[in-house]
Copies of this chain bind each other. A is one copy, B any other.
Amino acid sequence: MNVMKTSVIRFIAACTLAAVTPFAHSADGATAETIAARLRDQAIRGDSTAWDFVSELSTRFGPRPAGSASELAAAQWSAKKLAALGFENVRVDSFPITAWVRGIEHAEIVAPSPQPLTVASLGGAPATPPGGVEGEVVSFANLDALKAAAPGSLAGKIALVAFHMPRTQDGSGYGFAVAARAYGPIEAAKRGALGFMIRSVGTGGHRFAHAGATRYENGRVPIPAFAISEPDGDQIERLAALGEKIRVRLTSNARYVPSSSSYNVSGEIRGAARPNEVIVLGAHLDSWDLGTGAIDDGAGCAIITAAAKLARSAPRKPQRTIRVVLYGSEEITQPTDVLQGGRAYLEAHRADLATHIAAGESDFGAGRVYSVSLTKGAMDSQFGQALLRVLAPLGIVPTTSAPQGGSDVGPLGAAGVPLFDLNQDGTKYFDFHHTADDTLDKIEPAALAQNVAAWTALAWLIADSDADLRALAAR
């Protein structure tokens, strides 16, 4: 550790043109920035780790819903894979959850003329009675319109929020639309509705229902709740425009499995100088049950695993430890709001949070990274400027938006760990997100490699830096 620090000082003394730098340099004289650039280029030239990881994960296990045998099998496989790739301290940490299991579900328009609807029960929503629930559809343009409905006005009815999610690069269209999925069933139930439907929070216009979690209130989702596909939403709008009253029947036998387990898998590239200082690279191993969890979030698991593995291939170890965490149970909200993977990790690491230097998450598919978010202090620092130089050839620019983390590392951020974001192009992400169509073919290998390059460079630069990101964040 001291050796490395001494090297830094010697290097700085030797380079009159160089500003004071927070980085070490290697035995061959390469600075951290030079090594990061080399690793970046190595990733772009064609390291196959990420593709192989997401291909085998999504192929071998298919969907990996939290608490399922597939999730466990995928966690065990991932741990073996991390060990085989040279990670140290590989762990599989279990934590208790209540699993939610989709059963047989169907839906149809029963009047004016019978026809099937393409639906998916929202995650956490209860079963219908065996014969389903049937009622007239009352359509609302958005969640606010539903909230404006009078108490009792939906008695015996099925509420539909028919908002059309806009397509955006940064995912803001999803952020704007998703509240209706989270809170719609609660608001509809308050007004007496028998059931809830939402036009899928997604884009692309294909006949897929986009699943997703909905919220519990007082320990339960009050009424059966379903996403319908975009074309089904259009169909209902057109039937209404023809002057028809529309009745639908919704059926689901979804169930809960209490006392299930989910798993956080982790492994480390240990730091040479200050191994207790940890950078967390996060992604999640669980997926929705309809697709194969390729873009959500096999891609993220693959990207961060490949990035850390590439960092390990550098001519020397970084100063700090890079810890990859493949979280479990990211997708499904828990009835008691007790534990998901991110919360479980936080609880397990309360004692060593102070040595968590930074955390970031890859959970937005495999679209190219187009910008990086750091705290303002970090962005303005020599560390930040070096990072921007290394990322620029990948087409990545700085943003002034504060880093958000993601569902899994969010709890770390809330507990004071500095976050960073590599923001991906999500223009097409919501065409596939949470659908049966989330399959490997939706990943573009070159874009996946660009992600790996960005994550490798960033992970290396933080790990090999003396920069105090907490202090910089406070500036």
Contacts from A to B (Cβ < 8 Å): 55-56, 59-63, 69-70, 73, 104, 109, 112-116, 118, 205-208, 230-231, 234-235, 238-239, 242, 244, 291-292, 435-437, 439-441
Q: Are B238 and A115 in contact (CB under 8 A)?
A: no
Q: List 7 A-B contacts (CB under 8 A).
A: A70-B115, A104-B104, A206-B437, A231-B292, A231-B441, A234-B440, A234-B441
Contact of A59 among B60, B238, B435, B437 (CB under 8 A): B238
Contact of A239 among B60, B116, B244 (CB under 8 A): B60
Chain B hits for A112, CB < 8 A: 60
User: How close is A114's CB to chain B, nearest CB, in angstroms?
Assistant: 7
Q: Are B59 and A242 in contact (CB under 8 A)?
A: yes
Q: Are A207 and B436 in contact (CB under 8 A)?
A: yes
Contact of A115 among B62, B113, B231, B244 (CB under 8 A): B62
17 other A-B residue contacts (CB within 8 Å) besides A63-B116, A234-B439: A56-B242, A59-B242, A60-B242, A61-B113, A62-B115, A63-B115, A70-B113, A70-B114, A70-B115, A104-B104, A206-B208, A206-B437, A207-B437, A231-B437, A234-B440, A234-B441, A235-B292
A441 vs B109: C-alpha distance in the bound complex, in angstroms? 19
Q: How many copies of this chain does the complex contain?
A: 2
Chain B hits for A114, CB < 8 A: 62, 69-70
User: How close is A240's CB to chain B, nearest CB, in angstroms?
Assistant: 10
Q: Are A207 and B61 in contact (CB under 8 A)?
A: no
Contact of A235 among B62, B104, B234 (CB under 8 A): B62
Measured CB to CB, the nearest residue on chain B to A438 is B207
Q: Are B439 and A235 in contact (CB under 8 A)?
A: yes
Chain B hits for A115, CB < 8 A: 61-63, 70, 292
A291 vs B292: C-alpha distance in the bound complex, in angstroms? 23
Measured CB to CB, the nearest residue on chain B to A118 is B436
Chain B hits for A61, CB < 8 A: 113, 115
A436 vs B112: C-alpha distance in the bound complex, in angstroms? 20
A242 vs B59: C-alpha distance in the bound complex, in angstroms? 9
A56 vs B436: C-alpha distance in the bound complex, in angstroms? 29
Q: Find the residue from A61, A63, A113, A291 having the highest chain B CB count within 10 A.
A: A113
Q: Find the residue from A112, A231, A238, A292 having the highest chain B CB count within 10 A.
A: A231
Q: Are A439 and B231 in contact (CB under 8 A)?
A: yes
A437 vs B234: C-alpha distance in the bound complex, in angstroms? 13
User: How close is A55's CB to chain B, nearest CB, in angstroms?
Assistant: 7
Chain B hits for A205, CB < 8 A: 441
Chain B hits for A109, CB < 8 A: 62
A393 vs B70: C-alpha distance in the bound complex, in angstroms? 58
Q: Find the residue from A60, A115, A207, A439 having the highest chain B CB count within 10 A.
A: A207
Measured CB to CB, the nearest residue on chain B to A77 is B113
Q: Are A73 and B439 in contact (CB under 8 A)?
A: no
User: How close is A436's CB to chain B, nearest CB, in angstroms?
Assistant: 4
Q: Are B59 and A235 in contact (CB under 8 A)?
A: yes
User: How close is A287's CB to chain B, nearest CB, in angstroms?
Assistant: 11
Q: Find the residue from A104, A239, A435, A437 having the highest chain B CB count within 10 A.
A: A437
A55 vs B56: C-alpha distance in the bound complex, in angstroms? 43
Query: Nearest 7 CB-CB pairs, A to B?
Result: A62-B115, A231-B439, A207-B437, A59-B238, A207-B436, A61-B113, A206-B437
Q: Are A73 and B113 in contact (CB under 8 A)?
A: yes
Chain B hits for A235, CB < 8 A: 59, 62, 292, 439-440
A230 vs B322: C-alpha distance in the bound complex, in angstroms? 38
User: How close is A243's CB to chain B, nearest CB, in angstroms?
Assistant: 11
A238 vs B60: C-alpha distance in the bound complex, in angstroms? 9
Q: Are B59 and A239 in contact (CB under 8 A)?
A: yes
Chain B hits for A62, CB < 8 A: 109, 113-116, 235
Measured CB to CB, the nearest residue on chain B to A117 is B62
Measured CB to CB, the nearest residue on chain B to A70 is B113
A435 vs B207: C-alpha distance in the bound complex, in angstroms? 9
Q: Find the residue from A73, A234, A435, A439 having the highest chain B CB count within 10 A.
A: A439
Chain B hits for A238, CB < 8 A: 55, 59, 440
A206 vs B242: C-alpha distance in the bound complex, in angstroms? 31
A118 vs B292: C-alpha distance in the bound complex, in angstroms? 12
Chain B hits for A118, CB < 8 A: 436
A239 vs B234: C-alpha distance in the bound complex, in angstroms? 38
Measured CB to CB, the nearest residue on chain B to A237 is B59
